[in-house]
Structure 1
Amino acid sequence: MNGFALKIFGCQMNVYDGDRIASELRVRGWREVPEEEADLVVYVTCSIRDKAEQKVRSDLGRGGRKPLVAVVGCMAQRVGRELLARFPQVRVLCGPRQLGRLAGAVEEAMEGRTTVLLDDDPRALEDLEQIPRRRQLPFKSFVTIAHGCDNFCTYCIVPHVRGRFQSRLPGAVVDEVRSLVDDGVVEVTLLGQNVNSYGTDLQGVSFASLLRSLSAVEGLRRLRFATNHPKDLTDDVIAAMAEEPKICPAVNLPIQAGSDRVLKLMNRGYDVASYAERIGALRSALPDLAVTSDLIVAFPGETEEDFTLSLEALRRFRFDQVHSAAYSPRPGTAAASFPGRLPAMEARRRLNAVNDLQLGIAREINASLLGRVFTVLVDGPAHRGEGLLQGRTATDKVVLFPGQGLEGRFVDVVVADADAWSLKGRLVERM
């Protein structure tokens, strides 16, 4: 029996794809083994920034044993042929929309064949239908509800490597969630490059209607989703969040910049005023809402005034967390040819300023939760701290507390301490 290992880089969609790939290979008789024992290593790759690609190149170039390699996902689509020419162990390339053909291709590769499965048609899709029976946590699962993206933000490689937007049929999504719940899953996170666009290419379907259908699945306890686009976040989605108790009061709403001029250069489709209106509508409907965001600094042509407006946006909107990054040019995107690229040292200064400001805001928000009791889904032992468990609140806050043997259970925890990244507490005895 052949053994395989998975190496996953990048986003949650890649984690979901990796779980499905592993489940399909297992069904076909493969066994998952440590990398040093594997006959096949599957790299599920990311191209969102150059650093993500360099990690894969570095890993492929390491010395030592060279098992057969399949490179899957965005990097395969963008620079796969370069990898094929440079690394002899790479025998399979598979784009994000060809996963349904991957298992057959790796079996052929074991017999000496090299296979290239790239997405020549950005609207074609041959997806892997396998439900992820192998999951990092057996009681949590991701579910992709749409493929590709039509927004073409000027900095973003995703539409170029993942193709055009395409919703999955609602029945297929509901069936998958039901199957996952039957397999022990209590929390599902819906994924898409822009979940708010779900259903725009289907008749009589919307993201809000999908959320309500999934909320009716018996046995599902929590429902999350990411990522949202401010220009497409509609009132009916906010109403569903407020009215359906299974939908977690947590949302990722990327702002990307605090300057209207930069947002226009980014082709984001909204300004700061309309973003503020959406945040206001969310927080009015969901008083306990936690909001995370994404922010890019040093976008080509970003002036000091533009950057100051981004800092002001952080102070104004007070996000629970911000995923910040310095602009990384991606070949083939519009912004890659924009003038006004900032020096690396200046980009680093701006990124550090954003992170320092946000650290203080996150610390203040978390400190305001001292003494409150939250219901936490326990993930397992904490990554740091002997004898501590780690779980998450409905608002997606990480909570650390003493205990053991509670993985997959919901427990009540009172918050006794807090820092910018997590809450600390103790179990509340249930009467």
Structure 2
Amino acid sequence: MKKVAFHTLGCKVNQYETEAMEELFEKSGYQIVDFRDNADIYVINTCTVTNVADKKSRQMLSKAKHNNEEAIIVAVGCYAQIAKDKLIKDNNIDLVIGSNNKNKIVDLVEEYIHEGNKINVVEDIGKTTEYEDILITKVNDKTRAYIKIQDGCNQFCSYCIIPYTRGRVRSREMSSVIKEVNTLASKGYHEIVLTGIHIASYGKDLTNTSLIELLIRLNKIDGILRIRLGSLEPSLITEEFISQLSKLNKICPHFHLSLQSGCNATLKRMNRKYTTEVFNNKVEIIRKAYTKPSITTDIIVGFPGETDEEFNATLDFVRKIRFSGIHVFKYSMRQGTPAATRDDQIDPRIKTERSHILINVQSRIREEFLNSFINKEIDVLFEEESIIDGKKCYYGFTDNYIKVKVFSDNNIRNLQLATKIIKIQNDNLVGSI
């Protein structure tokens, strides 16, 4: 039995696709082993979102060869898509598979085993119009399952390489999504997270299909207790959409709305398709429909041309919106994007300083949000078991995505239980059942 090891870089979509590829190998009789082990085949699912991601992808490809010089090395995914010419010339890499053809990976590996010739199946992703169906029937050691529902992006933000590596929007057929969720529900998974490159665009390339129609169908599946949405573009949020969404009892009141900057001038340079005024209106629509929704976001500091005044506008906007959580990123130049060609790049020391300032402002807002749940009873779906000072401890999440810890002698993993919140600890909540 040949052994296959995987290493995944990047986003939740990559993680989903790795799990799907693992299943394909398992069904064909291969054994999945840890990447640190000696394997016959190493598959590196690469990322190219930043120059640093490119470097990590190259490092992991090199490490795989170092693990076993005789192994077959497979570069797959976004970096393989964008850097195919460089990888094809690398004598240590045997197969180069781009953003498509992951569902053929076993056949391609076996073709290489039989014929011994380097394989390159990187297509012109910009011309791809059909969604590549690749699915999972299980998730490794978790109670929450990520479901990929679309690929590609048509936005072309000035800092982002993804439209060039993932291509244009391609939606998965609704019947395929429903079939996968039914399968996972039958195996005991209670929460699903819909993910993709730009899920707000789901259905726009299909006939009579939309994200809300998919959610209405998924909400009816027995066994599924929670449906969580991945990162959303503000354009999706309308009075009509939220009105329909709020009637679906399994939808989690957790909205990750990508902001990137709280300054209109910066947003314009980023080629984002909204203003802060529009974004604020979207948040108000959500807060009118839900009680204590969790609204989280991403913000890039140090984008080319960002002045002190522009950064301060972002701080003021963060204070106004009062996000429950922010992922703060220092702008990282990505060759091949318009932003990388600008001559007004920001000094790295200023980026670091702004990052620390924003994180500190957000920490105080986050603490206020968490404090509002003290002495309240909330439903928590428990996912992980741990041992602390000899006692069994369980971690889970509320529907609005706050991590909660409880001590329990009983096995409560994969159960959703009413939990009394006692205190805050390490940016999470502690409760009792």
Runs of at least 5 residues in structure 1 that lack an aligned partner in the other structure: none
- 1:52 maps to 53
What do the CA deviations read for 1:79-117 (whole angstroms, capped 9, x no partner)? 24323434x332111112221222211222334232112
C-alpha distance 228-130 of structure 1, shift in aligned 2 (>3 A): closer
Cα 1:266–1:183, aligned 2, differ >3 Å: closer, same or farther? same
Alignment-derived partner of residue 94 in structure 1: 97
Cα distance in 1 between the residues matched to 2:174 and 2:12: 20
- Alignment check: 8 A CA contact 2:137 2:183 kept: no
Which residue identity lines up with residue 91 of structure 1 in the other structure? D
Partner of 2:356: 352
Q: 2-side partners of 1:382 and 1:263: how far apart?
A: 43
In 2, distance between residues paired with 1:8 and 1:237? 34
Normalised by the length of structure 2, the TM-score is 0.93
Report the AA paired with residue 276 of structure 1: N
Deviation at 1:240?
Answer: 3.0
- How far apart are residue 14 of structure 1 and its match? 0.9
**Alpha-carbon deviations, 1:266-300, whole Å to 9, x = none?**
11110000000000000110122101100001111
Instruction: String of CA shifts for 1:213-270, please: whole Å, max 9, x gaps.
Output: 1111122111011121012323333123311110111010011001101111111110
| Counterpart residue number, 2:177 | 173
Change (3 A) 1:47 1:78: same
Q: Aligned with 2:82: secondary structure?
A: helix
Write the distance in 2 (CA, Å) between the matches of 1:384 and 1:205.
48
String of CA shifts for 1:5-62, please: whole Å, max 9, x gaps. 1111111111110110011111111111123131111111211122222222223334
| Residue number in structure 2 paired with 1:397 | 402
The residue type paired with residue 55 of structure 1 is: K
Q: Which residue of 1 aligns with 2:7?
A: 7
Q: Is the 8 A contact 2:304 2:342 kept in 1?
A: yes
After the TM superposition, list the runs of 4 or more consecutive aligned residues in structure 1 that deviate by more than 4 angstroms. Answer: 125-128, 382-386
Rate the CA distance shift 1:423–1:375 in 2: closer, same or farther, 3 A: same
Partners of 2:190 and 2:24 in 1: CA distance: 22
> C-alpha distance in 1, partners of 2:140/2:41?
20
Matched with 1:422 is: 428
Provide the rounded CA distance (Å) in 1 between the counterparts of 2:95 and 2:401.
Answer: 37
- The sequence identity of aligned pairs, in percent, is 27
Q: Are 1:376 and 1:394, in contact at CA under 8 Å, matched by a contact in 2?
A: yes
**Aligned match of 2:290:** 286
Q: How does 1:169-248 map to 2 (within 5 A)?
A: 169-248=173-252
Give the structure 2 partner of residue 110 of structure 1. Answer: 113
Relative to 1, partners in 2 of residues 1:126 and 1:277: Cα closer, same or farther, differing over 3 Å? Answer: closer
- Residue 272 of structure 1: which of 266, 270, 276 is its match? 276
CA contact (8 A) 1:363 1:419 kept: no
Distance 1:166 1:129, change over 3 A: closer
Q: 1:124 aligns with which of 101, 114, 128?
A: 128
- Is residue 2:141 matched to residue 1:137? yes
- In the other structure, the counterpart of 1:317 is 321
Whether 1:327 aligns to 2:328 is no
Letter in 2 for 1:28: S
Q: How far has the Cα of 1:3 moved from its partner?
A: 0.9
Once the two structures are TM-superposed, the CA of residue 128 in structure 1 deviates from its matched residue by 5.7
Q: Quick check: 2:43–2:76 contact (8 Å CA) kept in 1? A: yes
Which residue matches 1:305?
Answer: 309
**Distance apart, 1:397 and its partner CA:** 0.9
Moved more, 258-267 or 189-198: 189-198
Q: Decide whether the 8 Å contact of 1:194 with 1:226 is kept in 2.
A: no
What is the CA RMSD across the aligned residues, in angstroms? 1.9
Q: Is the 8 A contact 1:101 1:128 kept in 2?
A: no
Amino acid at match of 1:274: V
Aligned counterparts of 2:132 and 2:389: Cα–Cα separation in 1: 39
Partner of 1:410: 416
**Structure 2 stretches of 5 or more lacking a match?**
none
